[in-house]
Amino acid sequence: MSDYEYLLYETFDESTIARITLNRPQTRNAQNRGLLVELDDAFARAQADDDVRVVILAGAGPAFSSGHDLGSPDRIRESTPGPDQHVTYQCNGATRAGAESRVRQEWHYYFDNTRRWRNLRKITIAQVQGNVYSAGLMLAWCCDLIVAAQSARFADVVATRLGMCGVEYFGHPWEFGPRKAKELLLTGDAIDAGEAHRLGMVSKVFADAELAERTLDFARRVARVPTMAALLIKDSVNHTVDAMGFTNALNTCFALHELNHSHWMELSGGKVALGTPEFGGPDWRTAPPVQLAARDTP
């Protein structure tokens, strides 16, 4: 396997555990197209390896992931026509006109890939610290288990900063609960690792300095479960949630997300697909810092 530009891939304990690390710490592991394509390859690599029983998804630096990359030099380079343009900006609907291009591109690279990772034929553990914001939530939520550092903060700020109704993989009501999901989306507030553990979204909370090693210890416990039993446990839970409407809800909410994009495109005369002050949206540049949701604070 070739080396990755935006990821680290390593194995432990005679390859029974694989760890994939998002490796763009200078952007707080913002998700550019190259990173997402490499991540799909790395997950497939771990899935194909019969020695691997558990896959850890981690992020280098102070934050697990700050969400979609909206403007780093890598993002600009790979999306700009020319010799350095990423190949994925030339296929999967990228050359289509109107809303079709965005719908098909986001379906492939923000939505369907996340659903695919959720159903990976291995047990997956998200190892998160610092900011887990917006699309960062999607990477954590597609994993079977989430282990958090004490510094972890979870928030979706796209409504209050970009005028959008949440990220493409809309797991909020299932992860936070219906009313808490509405509160967090409408305010842009965050919850900390302790509250995420109380809600059942996070399995373990460790000190930041111990996060990597304690997550490996946790993965070792999971890896001792016979692989067939582990896979059937995963499928039993996932199918139960699917029977409750999870997959149908995801499909519908993705369509609503794309409708929200089209709303801003229509208001702006085709200029922008997100809310901006010029067209009645919020101004992310002057947004206050994300604050923790507190029961006694408006």
In this predicted structure, what is the pLDDT of residue 253?
Answer: 98
DSSP state letters, 153-204:
EEE--HHHHH--SS-SS--HHHHH-HHHHHHHHHH--BEEHHHHHHHTS-SE
In this predicted structure, what is the pLDDT of residue 126?
Answer: 99
What is the 8-class DSSP label of residue 23? Answer: -
Give yes or no for residue 26 having a pLDDT over 90. Answer: yes
Give yes or no for residue 108 having a pLDDT over 90. Answer: yes
pLDDT digits (tens, 9 = 90+) for 259-286: 999 999 999 999 999 999 999 999 988 9
Rg (C-alpha) for the chain, rounded Å, is 19
pLDDT band at 1 (very low <50, low <70, confident <90, very high): very low
Q: What is the pTM of this model?
A: 0.96
In this predicted structure, what is the pLDDT of residue 285?
Answer: 87
pLDDT (mean) for 13-32: 98
Measured CA to CA, the distance from residue 113 to residue 251 in angstroms comes to 13
In this predicted structure, what is the pLDDT of residue 2?
Answer: 55
pLDDT (mean) for 12-20: 98
In this predicted structure, what is the pLDDT of residue 165?
Answer: 98
Write down the mean pLDDT value for the chain.
97
Closest residue by Cα to residue 97 from 255, 264, 254, 270? 270
Percent of the chain whose pLDDT exceeds 70: 99
pLDDT (mean) for 141-159: 98
pLDDT digits (tens, 9 = 90+) for 190-249: 999 999 999 999 999 999 999 999 999 999 999 999 999 999 999 999 999 999 999 999
Give yes or no for residue 113 having a pLDDT over 70. Answer: yes
Encoded tokens for 258: 């794309």
